[in-house]
Amino acid sequence: MSAPPCLSAKGVSRRFDSGMALDHVSFAVHAGEVHCLLGDNGAGKSTLIQILSGALEPTGGDLFMDGEPLQLASPREARDHGIATVYQDLALVPLMSVARNFVLGREPVRRFGPFAVFDAAAAGRLAREALDRMSIEVSDVDRAVSTLSGGQRQCVAIARALHHGARVLILDEPTSALGVAQSAGVLRNVRTARDQGVGVVLITHNVEHALAVGDRFTVLERGRSVLSVVASEATREGLQRAMAGGRSLDAETQRGRPPA
Amino acid sequence: MGRRWVATPAFGAAAGCALVFAFFAIFAADSGMWSARGIVNFLEVSALLGILAAPVALLMIGGEFDLSVGSMVGAVSIAIAIPAMEWGWPLGPSIALGFAFAAAWGGLNGIVVVRSGLPSFIVTLASLFVLRGLALGVTRWATGRTQIGGLKEPLATASVAPLFSGEVAEPLFSALADAGWMATRVDGAPAVTGLPVSILWWVAAVALGAFVLFRTRFGNWVLAAGGDARAALRCGVPVDRVKIALFVATAASAALVATLQVLDAGSADTNRGLQKEFEAITAAVIGGCLLSGGHGSILGAGLGALLFGTVQMGLFYTGVDSDWFQVFLGAMLLGAVGFNRFVRGRALA
């Protein structure tokens, strides 16, 4: 690919008192591609995305945006650079309407002299348009978020992040708590975002979900990058073996089993 | 559509008001409660509570409690009376000092709550005791008594007095009396000469609170801060600043009530506002505010105060021993909370 990746990390490390959480990891996402970040619990996935989203500073290594060096002091700075992160808790307020959640922190206002009045109609319109653009089915944007299904909530959070001008979308385990049908809905959104030219970082430990949408795959294991492949080279077994640190799931489950 | 209307948080309070009005329309029909004088009486009682209940409801929706508003009423009445009577200040600056004291203390409540992470219930409970004790101690030390009287005299010449005392719309009331719509006294004056300003302040407080909650960015932040503070922070809402501002608002409303009472009675009393914090929270809860925050209605809180005042005066007019008022109140509170939970369960199902 000729254009530099829209967001990349070169040799980033993060040392905690307890040890190296991330050890010289390189990672890049291009515009219009889904880069899946796989790994077991404690592999360093969340440390890496915290660094990419400005929540954590690396103790070594560099970040680049469009090939230019990038310093991120806070999540707000990351957001200003167009890096949006949807964490597992989604940052949606359950008792508030979809529309009010959609504009939370960036409410549209109408000015009357010195007074700024919250423009509820505009909030509803923005939410409606953004959801329609992603083909997300929510019957009424005035409904409380708590009335939505888990999949719908995830989709609303994704649509909100994109609506606010994200160029890079980081999704933290978006399908981990969802059933098959709802996961499919969320993955469809991921594809839509990619097709709109957004660089998507999809964190998951579900290989099936990764293979369904991924263009590129990186596997972390104990803080190090152990595999980085493009879609044409990725196989279910290869990814799974890398995630398990070279051990295969079948072999692990067979171990210690009484002979048949 | 019908279900949605029932699900609005203010519905419970509106229904409660209708019920209580019907009840007293029957059982206090000939008692004078429904004369012009009687109506203004129970509206005035409701008004002083409603002024407190509006910001208290806003704070509850923002996820916090203020138990110090009652003590604040007593403390501010002293903060107005001591400069006015002991130091010879004009009334205007004395009232300004009272408001400044309240705003500073309210801000302090808020800062302690957000910085310490302690429950606001505890922090403002501490304020409840400290403010009441401070008001008593300072007043006794400065004057040797716990009440300060004689404010009628500076009041008569103060330019700010019409804002906080007396009545408005007198010509309208005279016209009503002339037209035979209202009873007159022996001297021909209308039974009620005008609308007490406190009632206007009540309406203004509720209107302002409701506007802020539903029609400003700040209101959206209040809903979010009380609904899920972590999510609100993630979305860039300055949760701490929102909460501190709300504590300043509840304290300022207590200062307003103190001013109205001082000018009405012409005296200050360290005991003013006793238990008003619980009454204001009761009104807010009857009005549909969840104790857990994130949901509620300012209009509902205003109606909750109306319910409160109507019952209090209604029992007086029906001749029921006022001892029973609190029994009624407790039952009403429990009923309202149960009803709110039921409504919320249906609305969010």
pLDDT in tens, A11-46: 999 998 888 889 999 999 999 999 999 988 888 898
The angle formed by the CA atoms of residues B285, B287 and B292, to the nearest 5 degrees, is: 40
Question: Cβ of B295 under 8 Å from any chain A Cβ?
Answer: yes
Please give the Cα distance from A179 to A146 (Å, whole number).
Answer: 18
Closest Cα in chain B to A102: B235
The whole-number pLDDT of residue A251 equals: 60
Give me the residue spans of the domains in chain B.
2-347
Q: What part of B 216-255 touches A (C-beta under 8 Å)? A: 216-217, 219-221, 223-224, 227-228, 230-232, 234-237
The answer to whether A147 contacts B295, with C-beta atoms less than 8 Å apart, is: no
Q: What is the ipTM of this complex?
A: 0.86
The whole-number pLDDT of residue B347 equals: 60
Fold of the domain spanning B2-347 = ABC transporter involved in vitamin B12 uptake, BtuC (1.10.3470)
Digit-coded pLDDT (tens) for A203-222: 998 999 999 999 999 999 88
Digit-coded pLDDT (tens) for A163-213: 888 899 999 999 888 888 889 989 999 999 999 999 999 999 899 999 999
Phi (first) and psi of residue B167, to 5 degrees: -130, 160
Nearest by CB to residue B216, choosing from A92, A105, A118, is: A118
Digit-coded pLDDT (tens) for A62-118: 999 999 999 998 888 898 899 999 988 899 999 999 999 999 989 999 999 888 999
Q: How many residues are recorded in chain A?
A: 260
The whole-number pLDDT of residue B191 equals: 78
pLDDT of residue B1 exceeding 50: no
The answer to whether B227 contacts A109, with C-beta atoms less than 8 Å apart, is: no
The answer to whether B347 contacts A92, with C-beta atoms less than 8 Å apart, is: no
Enumerate chain A positions whose Cβ falls within 8 A of a Cβ in B: 75-76, 79, 87, 89-96, 100, 103-107, 109, 116-118, 120, 144, 146-147
Mean local confidence (pLDDT), B264-276: 92
Please give the Cα distance from B321 to B313 (Å, whole number).
Answer: 11
pLDDT of residue A147 exceeding 80: yes
Chain A contact set for B232 (CB, 8 A): 93, 104-105
Chain A contact set for B343 (CB, 8 A): none
The answer to whether A103 contacts B220, with C-beta atoms less than 8 Å apart, is: yes
pLDDT of residue B2 exceeding 50: no
Chain B contact set for A94 (CB, 8 A): 227-228, 294
pLDDT of residue B3 exceeding 60: no
The whole-number pLDDT of residue B116 equals: 96
Digit-coded pLDDT (tens) for B5-49: 556 778 888 888 888 899 889 888 888 888 888 999 999 999 999
Domains contained in chain A, CATH given: 7-96+165-253 (3.40.50.300)
Taken in order B205, B206, B210, B211, the sign of the CA dihedral is negative
Please give the Cα distance from B283 to B250 (Å, whole number).
Answer: 14
Check residues B343 and B66 and name the one with the higher pLDDT: B66
β-pairing verdict for A168-172 and A199-204 = parallel
The pTM is what? 0.89
